[in-house]
Protein backbone atom coordinates (compact mmCIF):
# COMPACT_ATOMS: atom_id res chain seq x y z
CA UNK A 1 0.00 0.00 0.00
CA UNK A 2 1.59 3.32 -0.97
CA UNK A 3 2.15 6.12 1.58
CA UNK A 4 0.36 9.37 1.01
CA UNK A 5 2.38 11.87 -1.05
CA UNK A 6 2.43 14.40 1.87
CA UNK A 7 4.43 12.04 4.15
CA UNK A 8 7.11 11.42 1.47
CA UNK A 9 7.55 15.17 0.93
CA UNK A 10 8.02 15.79 4.66
CA UNK A 11 10.74 13.15 4.89
CA UNK A 12 12.67 14.75 2.05
CA UNK A 13 12.49 18.20 3.73
CA UNK A 14 13.86 16.82 7.03
CA UNK A 15 16.76 15.06 5.26
CA UNK A 16 17.70 18.22 3.41
CA UNK A 17 17.70 20.38 6.57
CA UNK A 18 19.84 17.94 8.59
CA UNK A 19 22.55 17.81 5.86
CA UNK A 20 22.68 14.04 6.12
CA UNK A 21 23.77 11.98 3.21
CA UNK A 22 21.63 9.11 2.13
CA UNK A 23 24.00 6.85 4.09
CA UNK A 24 23.24 8.72 7.36
CA UNK A 25 26.63 10.42 7.90
CA UNK A 26 26.99 14.23 7.95
CA UNK A 27 28.21 15.66 4.66
CA UNK A 28 30.98 18.27 4.98
CA UNK A 29 32.04 20.56 2.17
CA UNK A 30 35.80 21.42 2.26
CA UNK A 31 37.46 24.13 0.26
CA UNK A 32 40.86 23.74 -1.37
CA UNK A 33 43.69 23.31 1.17
CA UNK A 34 47.03 25.05 0.95
CA UNK A 35 50.12 22.93 1.53
CA UNK A 36 52.66 24.32 4.01
CA UNK A 37 55.11 26.52 2.17
CA UNK A 38 58.79 26.93 2.85
CA UNK A 39 59.87 29.23 5.64
CA UNK A 40 58.64 32.74 4.90
CA UNK A 41 60.83 35.64 6.01
CA UNK A 42 59.06 38.64 7.48
CA UNK A 43 60.28 41.80 9.12
CA UNK A 44 59.21 43.00 12.56
CA UNK A 45 60.18 45.77 14.93
CA UNK A 46 62.36 44.61 17.79
CA UNK A 47 63.27 46.27 21.07
CA UNK A 48 64.11 49.96 20.99
CA UNK A 49 62.81 50.21 17.46
CA UNK A 50 65.56 48.06 15.98
CA UNK A 51 64.61 46.09 12.93
CA UNK A 52 64.62 42.32 13.35
CA UNK A 53 64.28 39.71 10.61
CA UNK A 54 61.79 37.01 11.65
CA UNK A 55 61.62 33.67 9.84
CA UNK A 56 58.72 31.27 10.59
CA UNK A 57 60.04 27.72 10.38
CA UNK A 58 57.93 24.71 9.36
CA UNK A 59 57.69 21.44 11.20
CA UNK A 60 56.17 22.90 14.38
CA UNK A 61 59.16 24.93 15.58
CA UNK A 62 58.70 28.52 16.70
CA UNK A 63 60.00 31.63 14.92
CA UNK A 64 63.72 32.26 14.82
CA UNK A 65 65.15 35.81 14.89
CA UNK A 66 68.17 37.18 13.14
CA UNK A 67 69.15 40.74 14.06
CA UNK A 68 69.77 43.09 11.19
CA UNK A 69 72.67 45.57 11.36
CA UNK A 70 71.72 48.48 13.61
CA UNK A 71 71.43 51.90 12.06
CA UNK A 72 74.37 54.10 13.02
CA UNK A 73 73.55 57.01 15.30
CA UNK A 74 75.13 60.37 14.42
CA UNK A 75 77.76 61.47 16.93
CA UNK A 76 76.68 64.24 19.27
CA UNK A 77 78.13 67.61 18.37
CA UNK A 78 80.69 68.68 20.96
CA UNK A 79 80.90 72.28 22.10
CA UNK A 80 84.67 72.53 21.87
CA UNK A 81 84.99 76.01 23.39
CA UNK A 82 82.77 75.19 26.37
CA UNK A 83 84.46 71.84 26.95
CA UNK A 84 88.01 73.22 26.87
CA UNK A 85 87.02 76.18 29.05
CA UNK A 86 85.35 73.95 31.63
CA UNK A 87 88.52 71.86 31.80
CA UNK A 88 90.54 75.04 32.32
CA UNK A 89 92.74 74.33 29.31
CA UNK A 90 92.29 77.56 27.35
CA UNK A 91 95.49 79.46 28.14
CA UNK A 92 99.26 79.28 27.73
CA UNK A 93 101.14 76.64 29.71
CA UNK A 94 104.83 76.66 30.53
CA UNK A 95 107.72 74.36 31.30
CA UNK A 96 111.38 75.25 31.35
CA UNK A 97 112.23 75.87 27.68
CA UNK A 98 108.74 74.89 26.53
CA UNK A 99 105.45 76.75 26.08
CA UNK A 100 102.12 75.49 24.83
CA UNK A 101 98.98 77.45 23.95
CA UNK A 102 95.47 76.01 23.69
CA UNK A 103 92.79 78.24 22.20
CA UNK A 104 89.02 78.12 22.60
CA UNK A 105 88.52 77.17 18.94
CA UNK A 106 90.41 73.91 19.54
CA UNK A 107 93.68 74.87 17.86
CA UNK A 108 97.01 74.69 19.63
CA UNK A 109 100.70 75.49 19.19
CA UNK A 110 103.82 74.43 21.03
CA UNK A 111 107.33 75.91 21.02
CA UNK A 112 110.44 74.56 22.70
CA UNK A 113 114.20 74.79 22.86
CA UNK A 114 116.09 72.06 21.05
CA UNK A 115 119.38 73.17 22.67
CA UNK A 116 121.24 73.11 19.40
CA UNK A 117 122.29 76.52 18.12
CA UNK A 118 122.16 77.57 14.50
CA UNK A 119 124.36 77.39 12.48
CA UNK A 120 126.33 74.98 14.65
CA UNK A 121 123.93 72.14 13.91
CA UNK A 122 121.33 71.16 11.32
CA UNK A 123 117.71 72.20 11.73
CA UNK A 124 115.84 72.19 13.90
CA UNK A 125 118.02 74.54 15.89
CA UNK A 126 117.65 77.54 18.18
CA UNK A 127 118.64 81.01 17.05
CA UNK A 128 119.94 83.90 19.14
CA UNK A 129 118.76 87.34 18.09
CA UNK A 130 120.28 89.84 20.47
CA UNK A 131 119.19 88.73 23.93
CA UNK A 132 116.25 86.73 22.56
CA UNK A 133 116.23 83.01 21.89
CA UNK A 134 114.09 81.82 19.00
CA UNK A 135 113.01 78.25 19.70
CA UNK A 136 113.76 75.67 17.04
CA UNK A 137 110.96 73.29 18.04
CA UNK A 138 107.46 74.07 16.82
CA UNK A 139 104.29 71.99 16.58
CA UNK A 140 100.67 72.61 15.70
CA UNK A 141 97.75 70.46 16.78
CA UNK A 142 94.00 70.34 17.30
CA UNK A 143 92.50 69.51 20.66
CA UNK A 144 89.03 68.28 21.57
CA UNK A 145 87.47 67.57 24.98
CA UNK A 146 86.38 63.99 25.56
CA UNK A 147 82.66 63.93 26.46
CA UNK A 148 81.84 63.00 30.06
CA UNK A 149 85.48 62.95 31.13
CA UNK A 150 88.12 65.24 32.60
CA UNK A 151 90.57 64.95 29.71
CA UNK A 152 91.07 66.23 26.19
CA UNK A 153 92.88 64.69 23.25
CA UNK A 154 95.37 66.59 21.11
CA UNK A 155 96.01 65.39 17.57
CA UNK A 156 99.36 66.48 16.18
CA UNK A 157 99.31 68.16 12.76
CA UNK A 158 102.93 69.27 12.21
CA UNK A 159 106.25 69.31 14.04
CA UNK A 160 109.77 70.51 13.34
CA UNK A 161 111.25 68.22 16.00
CA UNK A 162 109.79 64.69 15.85
CA UNK A 163 111.95 63.61 18.78
CA UNK A 164 109.79 65.75 21.09
CA UNK A 165 106.37 65.79 19.41
CA UNK A 166 105.75 63.72 16.31
CA UNK A 167 104.25 65.20 13.18
CA UNK A 168 101.39 62.73 13.62
CA UNK A 169 99.90 61.09 16.67
CA UNK A 170 97.67 61.82 19.63
CA UNK A 171 98.35 63.09 23.12
CA UNK A 172 95.97 62.92 26.08
CA UNK A 173 95.88 66.24 27.91
CA UNK A 174 94.98 65.83 31.58
CA UNK A 175 94.44 68.81 33.93
CA UNK A 176 95.99 68.31 37.38
CA UNK A 177 96.14 70.45 40.52
CA UNK A 178 99.32 72.24 41.49
CA UNK A 179 101.41 69.96 43.69
CA UNK A 180 103.19 72.61 45.77
CA UNK A 181 100.88 75.58 45.77
CA UNK A 182 98.19 77.51 43.89
CA UNK A 183 97.68 77.33 40.17
CA UNK A 184 97.00 74.55 37.75
CA UNK A 185 99.05 72.09 35.77
CA UNK A 186 98.44 69.78 32.85
CA UNK A 187 99.94 66.46 31.94
CA UNK A 188 101.02 66.64 28.30
CA UNK A 189 103.02 63.51 27.38
CA UNK A 190 105.86 63.92 24.90
CA UNK A 191 107.99 61.33 23.13
CA UNK A 192 110.83 62.11 25.53
CA UNK A 193 108.79 62.22 28.73
CA UNK A 194 105.38 60.53 29.16
CA UNK A 195 104.91 62.39 32.46
CA UNK A 196 105.70 65.85 31.08
CA UNK A 197 103.92 68.53 33.14
CA UNK A 198 103.28 72.16 32.19
CA UNK A 199 102.14 74.92 34.57
CA UNK A 200 99.98 78.02 34.34
CA UNK A 201 101.37 81.40 35.50
CA UNK A 202 100.51 80.80 39.17
CA UNK A 203 101.89 77.27 39.35
CA UNK A 204 105.03 78.32 37.49
CA UNK A 205 106.05 80.43 40.50
CA UNK A 206 106.23 77.33 42.71
CA UNK A 207 109.01 75.82 40.60
CA UNK A 208 107.03 72.72 39.63
CA UNK A 209 107.81 73.26 35.96
CA UNK A 210 111.34 74.58 36.13
CA UNK A 211 112.67 78.07 36.12
pLDDT tens, residue by residue, 167-180: 889 999 999 987 77
Predicted pLDDT of residue 199: 95
SS3 assignment, position 20: strand
Are 196 and 95 in contact by the 8 Å Cβ rule? The answer is yes
Average pLDDT, the chain: 74
Q: Which residue in 102, 80, 76 sits closest to 89, CA to CA?
A: 102
In a domain, 25, yes or no: no
Q: Which residue in 166, 187, 169 sits closest to 178, CA to CA?
A: 187
Cα 207 from chain centre: 40
In a domain, 125, yes or no: yes
Q: Which residue in 93, 199, 107, 200 sits closest to 154, CA to CA?
A: 107
**Domain span including residue 137:** 80-204
Of the pLDDT bands very low, low, confident and very high (cuts 50, 70, 90), residue 77 is: low
Q: pTM of the predicted model, to two decimals?
A: 0.62
Question: What sign for the dihedral angle of Cα 44, 47, 51, 55?
Answer: negative
In a domain, 140, yes or no: yes
pLDDT at 36 over 90: no
Are 58 and 168 in contact by the 8 Å Cβ rule? The answer is no
In a domain, 14, yes or no: no
Cα 78 from chain centre: 12
**pLDDT tens by residue, 99-143:** 999 999 999 999 999 999 988 778 899 998 988 999 999 999 999
In a domain, 97, yes or no: yes
In a domain, 31, yes or no: no
SS3 assignment, position 171: strand
Are 192 and 163 in contact by the 8 Å Cβ rule? The answer is yes
Number of folded domains that form the chain:
1
Q: Which residue in 184, 147, 155 sits closest to 172, CA to CA?
A: 155
Q: Could you give the CA distance from residue 87 to residue 146 in angstroms, rounded to a whole number?
A: 10
In a domain, 85, yes or no: yes
In a domain, 190, yes or no: yes
Amino acid sequence: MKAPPAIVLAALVVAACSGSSPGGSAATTRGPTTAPSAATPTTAQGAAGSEVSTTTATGGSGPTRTALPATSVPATTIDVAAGLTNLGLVRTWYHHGFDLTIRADGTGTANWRVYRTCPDGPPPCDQFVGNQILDGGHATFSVRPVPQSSVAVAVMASSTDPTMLGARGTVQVTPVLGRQGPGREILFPTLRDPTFVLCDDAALLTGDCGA
